Amino acid sequence: MSPAASSKSAPSVIVTLPTWNESLNVLPLARALLDLGPNYAVLVIDDNSPDGTWKLVAEAAASEPRLQLLHRTSDKGRGAAGRAGFVRALELGADIVVEMDADFSHQPRFVPALVARLDEPGREVGLALGSRAVSGGSDDDRGGVRRLITLCANLYIRVLLGVPVQDCNSGFRCWRRSTLERIRVQDTFSKGPAIVQELLFKTARARIGIAEVGIEFIERQRGESTLTWRILIKGYTTVLRLRWMALRGKL
Ligand SMILES: Nc1nc2c(ncn2[C@@H]2O[C@H](COP(=O)(O)OP(=O)(O)O)[C@@H](O)[C@H]2O)c(=O)[nH]1
Ligand SMILES: [Mg+2]
């Protein structure tokens, strides 16, 4: 993988895409991201998806140096895959790491605004977060039940963790390298999607500047969601665990 060498005008950006059965989405999404500019590269982290997502990426990567696959065959999970992706992106020398879902719910057109927000004048921003809950953001495309779940989860997390953010469930984020290093991303423990809150909590506790950028979240058109009630409840308990660890000075 070779995103253009970092320079003052164009930092190297690696977009990490955790995938599970995203064969219908992954290549068009990777293409749209690579088209954002020569300083962009894409790292797909696939957990040996039964639909062969990883094979498609491996084939495409053979002729596209800015596309890379991390093919994992054990330790499946959104959190574990996300962590592995961050670690690999840092090893590859990224100045900036973007994480987003690989189902087009997070649209490539918002990525440049997230990257630009890291350079907000007059303020140090270490994390730019794609938010449904600030001006310019929306979530109108999804069904009522999903929106209600998101709303309740958001309230619960904000109260429990006290993070200064309107959309605590957003996994569409843009990180400075220094932020990931400071919060020791390699030491995160969440195996599932709760890694989103774990990273957010650790960033807020480190008093790193967080900026929210409005994004339009749209429902996936192709493939299926992996979210289940079991994953959701596990996420809630992980948030409790984070609060408990912080209280005991173990975080
Ligand atoms: N590598 C990997 N990616 C996953 C796993 N579970 C979900 N994903 C990816 O994580 C992103 C969010 O998952 P999704 O099913 O859309 O969850 P939802 O948006 O909450 O319905 C998508 O890009 C999925 O392909 C997993 O176990 N391993
Ligand atoms: Mg999704």
- The predicted model scores a pTM of 0.95
In DSSP terms, 212 is beta-bridged to 129
Could you give the 3-state DSSP secondary structure of residue 209? coil
Nearest atom, ligand 1, residue 81 CA? 1
Residue 7 has pLDDT above 70, yes or no: no
Confidence of residue 4 (pLDDT cuts 50, 70, 90): low
How many angstroms does the Cα of residue 220 sit away from the middle of ligand 2?
6
Ligand 1 pocket check for 101: Cβ under 6 Å = yes
CATH no. for residue 103?
A: 3.90.550.10
Q: Taking all residues of the chain, what is their mean pLDDT, rounded to a whole number?
A: 94
d(CA 77, CA 89) in angstroms, rounded, equals 18
| Domain membership flag for residue 6 | no
Token code pair at residue 148: 């209600």
| Domain membership flag for residue 2 | no
Nearest atom, ligand 1, residue 47 CA? 1
| Domain membership flag for residue 65 | yes
Ligand 1 pocket check for 103: Cβ under 6 Å = yes
How many angstroms does the Cα of residue 207 sit away from the middle of ligand 1?
29
Among positive and negative, which fits the CA dihedral 2, 181, 204, 227? Answer: positive
Q: Whose CA is nearest to atom 22 of ligand 1?
A: 101
How many angstroms does the Cα of residue 29 sit away from the middle of ligand 2?
13
| Domain membership flag for residue 160 | yes
Q: Give pLDDT tens digits for 27-59.
A: 999 999 999 999 999 999 999 999 999 999 999
Look up the domain containing 214 and give its range. Answer: 13-247
Ligand 1 pocket check for 78: Cβ under 6 Å = yes
Average pLDDT over residues 228-239: 90
Q: Report whether 105 contacts 219 (CB < 8 A).
A: yes
Q: How far is CA 93 from the centre of its chain?
A: 18
Number of domains the chain is built from? 1
Q: Give pLDDT tens digits for 86-116.
A: 999 999 999 999 999 999 999 999 999 999 9
In DSSP terms, 130 is beta-bridged to 213
Give me the pLDDT at residue 70, please.
98
Ligand 1 pocket check for 45: Cβ under 6 Å = yes
How many angstroms does the Cα of residue 233 sit away from the middle of ligand 1?
16
d(CA 141, CA 250) in angstroms, rounded, equals 40
Q: Report whether 72 contacts 44 (CB < 8 A).
A: no
Could you give the 3-state DSSP secondary structure of residue 74? coil
